[in-house]
Amino acid sequence: MDQEHSGNGADTTLLDGGRSLDLIVSPTNEIQIAAPPYELRSAAGSAKSFAGYADWTFLRLEQRLVASPQTEGDYVVTAWLQIAAPIGVQALTSHAWSLQPTLAVGKGWGSLDIQTTVTAVLPTANARTLGRQIQTNTALQYHVGELFWPEVEANWTYFPDGQRAGLNQLFLTPGLAIGRLTLSQALKLTLGFGYQFAVSPSYRPKPLTPAYAQGWLFSSRLNF
């Protein structure tokens, strides 16, 4: 469950949020089958409240290309493809199937690690309106003691076409992950929080760029 409170008074709850059934079908291949996301939004003022399903990223096919354990090279390179179906209600759908090929790389040096992904968001219809995207996410983490992982994360998106053609946006997120905290022999808890803020470009209302200004992020996860 994801929950968000916006500065305009709207409260949004997302049930599922992309969790999935993971099937390891070979030593280097994985298939993920996700449940459809359901969103509830309560709005203040003249904005409308609604509830319904959003577009469904139902399948992810993952292939680990190369990897080395921590005692040797301490790295991993993985490729995956996500497929999204336009099943959402009118307020939450793009009306187009979408393909999202991704390349992910991770490398560790003792207590320090870097993780980065490069993703293309490719709608199969309405591309002139929706636009294609190139997204990158890079995180630097440092392991302190047994439980603490301070980090800084950068999220950059470039819009080659569509309503935001030629624009890009960059967010930075300093944060801290804490875990895994032992609850029982088979159950552990991971907590995380951070503050995300837009670095560029300067605010423009039409088309809205960047997508938002800033916000606190909190997460919790039960590990089996």
Q: What is the mean pLDDT of each run of 10 residues along the chain (224 residues)?
A: 76 78 92 90 74 91 94 94 93 92 96 96 89 95 93 96 91 94 92 94 88 87 84
Q: What is the pLDDT of residue 14?
A: 86
**Residue 51 buriedness (CB in 10 A; 0-12 / 13-18 / 19+):** middle
Q: What is the model's pLDDT at position 126?
A: 85
Find the distance separating the first CA and the last CA of the chain, reported in whole Å.
17
- Say if CB 115 and CB 99 are below 8 A apart: no
In order of 37, 141, 184, 219, 220, the CA distances from 1 in angstroms are 10, 25, 23, 10, 10
Predicted confidence at residue 130, as pLDDT, reads 87
pLDDT attached to residue 43: 76
- Is the separation of the CB atoms in 5 and 11 below 8 Å? yes
DSSP 91: G
